[in-house]
Amino acid sequence: MADLRDLLDEIVTDADVVFLFSPSGSYYEKFVDLEPEVTLVVVGTENAVGASTFVELPLAFEDVRERIRFGIEGAMKQDLVDDGDVIACATSVFSQNIDTVTRVQANESVQSGVYDLFANSRADPNVIRNVLEVAIELGKKGQKGKPVGALFVVGDAGKVMNKSRPLSYNPFEKSHVHVGDPIVNVMLKEFSRLDGAFVISDSGKIVSAYRYLEPSAEGVDIPKGLGARHMAAGAITRDTNATAIVLSESDGLVRAFKGGEIILELDPEVY
Amino acid sequence: MAVQWGVFGEFRYLVAVAVLFVGWLAGYLVGRANKRILTAANVPDLVEGTPFERTAQSLGTSTVAMVARLSSWFIYGVTILVALYVANLLDTRLFFTRITAFVPDLFVAILVFIVGFVLADKAELVVGERLRSVKLPEVGIIPKAVKYSIVYIASLLALGQLGITTDALLILLAVYVFALVFLGGIAFKDLLGSSAAGIYVLLSQPYSIGDEIQMGSRRGIVQEVDVFVTHIEDDGEEYIVPNHRMFREGVTRIRN
């Protein structure tokens, strides 16, 4: 038994920072009572244990790598972690409780901009999260069982409206609905069978559906094989300060674009 | 007196006992019915957490039980008086008429006081809950002010019901309300103007997100419209213009 512990020792020795991902109250207390010399950071969708150093996850990332990457990026932005620090991450993979310990070294190259996507976008972080949730839900269920595609352009709505034209009458004209309102998800789902993009303002107001985006697609570099919807999303985010969230019709993945690049790729099926 | 009673004059003690019994039964039933109605109206949930309810709980009762018992007591009181009258034990009719006039008033006054107190506590809780997100220590005075305003008005009503002169208190209330309305009007003048204009803008949408407009000296693309302000962005500068400016100065929509 002792040699098994030695193995774990190697993972946690010399760690500068410990990340606890959504720890239970008792686990957290136990950890604090040990009074370790390392910095403790709690990462989770909510600060249930009332920790002083906390990084908020916008989604309960199912993929452990995404989860840890987001935690590190958030912690680096909050100056809790420096470049080159060794981090021991305690997280859960199979059960609700913490069952996995992993060792990561923080460096700038780990950063993919996922934290930026939420924390430093023009639009409210909650709005981006709500739109992502709608896209994920739409990807999971589809429209009446059939896979659908959708394109949401969030933030900088004024500029986006000027760089697009209506394909037909705007169903959201003179309406004041915001993403996250209770019935809006159903509405967005119904309208997702329409062609074109949804335009959503910084504060989450749904400005328009049925928009044909006309940005200049010059210099937009997205992986080959993705269709016109992704190209439009990449181009509009390069041309404006908006964030685009795309649900692909062909492979069913949800992708987020910012500054013309894919920042985040999620599989709705695993959420 | 005895002449009036005539035939059943001998039975009057018996009648009094019967009245007492009927009164006791009625009081008990009304109390229980009241309790049922109040529970059905969700009053226990509404008063939960208020200091009044907590005090009642620590005394081994609850607000609902107290109000229900109050109605029972009221009926018991009336019954006893009627019984005494029937039994001819109380001789002075004058005293009787005064009592019958006073008892309902007292009942209403106590009820108003209890309702006022519970309402005040509840209002304090609700307002406090609303202001929780405002992280400013001084904000704690607002729920207290709301609470004591309601208690003040309730006690004023209760005292008025009992016929106690409340003129001085009434003047104080008038001054307080006037100050609240007057100062509030001055303080919220621009906000009220903006929100009135904002409602018009939101309903009829003379301009909407994506339009290029000029409002006063500010020109740019509309990024956001809400009840109070309009965000106009121009080359990295975002102007936040109060909506009442739109009515004062008008808006130019730029079409090209």
Domain count, chain B: 2
Measure the N-to-C terminal CA separation of chain B; round to a whole number of Å.
101
Distance, in angstroms, between A208 CA and closest chain B CA? 10
Place of tokens 């300060």: A241
B84 and B7 in one domain? Answer: yes
Mean pLDDT score, A233-244: 92
Angle between helical axes of B93-130 and B141-161 (0-180°, round to 10):
170
Among the partner residues A158, A174, A176, nearest to B223 by beta-carbon distance: A158
**Distance, CA of B50 to CA of B56 (rounded, Å):** 10
**Distance, CA of A163 to CA of A208 (rounded, Å):** 13
B45 and B127 in one domain? Answer: yes
- Give A157's contacts in chain B (Cβ within 8 Å): 209-210, 223-224
Q: What Cα–Cα distance (Å) separates residue B102 from each residue in A237, B99, B106, B107?
A: 77, 5, 6, 9
B216 and B96 in one domain? Answer: no
The residue among B92, B111, B132 that closes a domain is: B132
Q: Would you state the pLDDT for residue B6? A: 54
Which B positions 188-207 lie with beta carbon below 8 A of chain A? 202-203, 205
Q: Would you state the pLDDT for residue A190? A: 82
Cβ atoms within 10 Å of B234's Cβ, excluding its own: 14
Mean pLDDT score, B94-121: 80
B252 to chain A, any CB pair closer than 8 A? The answer is no
A173-176 long-range contacts (CB < 8 A, ≥24 apart) are A173/A208, A174/B203, A174/B205, A175/A206, A176/A205, A176/B202
Mean pLDDT score, B18-31: 87
Q: Does residue B6 belong to any structural domain of this protein? A: yes
A207 to chain B, any CB pair closer than 8 A? The answer is yes
**Distance, CA of A57 to CA of A44 (rounded, Å):** 5
B122 and B43 in one domain? Answer: yes
pLDDT at residue B159 above 70? Answer: yes
Q: Does residue B158 belong to any structural domain of this protein? A: no
- β-strands A17-21, A39-44 pairing: parallel
B122 and B243 in one domain? Answer: no
Q: Using a pLDDT cut of 90, give the percent of chain B over it.
A: 6
| B contact test, residue of A124, A160, A176 with most B CBs within 10 A | A176
pLDDT at residue B1 above 70? Answer: no
Mean pLDDT score, A37-62: 81
* Domain A121-270 coded CATH 3.40.50.720: no
Spatial neighbors of B154 by CB under 8 A, at least 6 apart, are B112, B113, B115, B116, B117, B119, B120
pLDDT at residue B246 above 80? Answer: yes
| Contact yes or no for A63/A39 (Cβ under 8 A) | no
Residue B109's domain comprises: 2-132
Nearest CA in chain B to A208: B209
Q: What is the CATH number of the domain that holds B245?
A: 2.30.30.60
Nearest CA in chain A to B204: A174
Q: Does residue B160 belong to any structural domain of this protein? A: no
Contact A157 B205 (CB under 8 A): no
Nearest CA in chain B to A156: B223
- Give B223's contacts in chain A (Cβ within 8 Å): 156-158, 201-202
B195 and B122 in one domain? Answer: no
| Interface predicted TM-score (ipTM) of this complex, two decimals | 0.71
Question: What is A2-114's CATH topology?
Answer: Pyruvate Kinase; Chain: A, domain 1 (3.40.1380)
Q: Using a pLDDT cut of 90, give the percent of chain A over it.
A: 15
Q: Would you state the pLDDT for residue B117? A: 85
**Distance, CA of A205 to CA of A201 (rounded, Å):** 5
Contact B223 A156 (CB under 8 A): yes
What is the tens place of the pLDDT at every residue in A91-148? Answer: 888 888 888 888 888 876 656 677 778 878 888 888 998 898 888 888 888 767 788 8
Parse chain A into domains and list their residue ranges.
Answer: 2-114, 121-270
What is the tens place of the pLDDT at every residue in B191-237? Answer: 888 889 988 888 888 888 889 999 888 889 999 888 899 999 988 88
Contact A202 B224 (CB under 8 A): yes
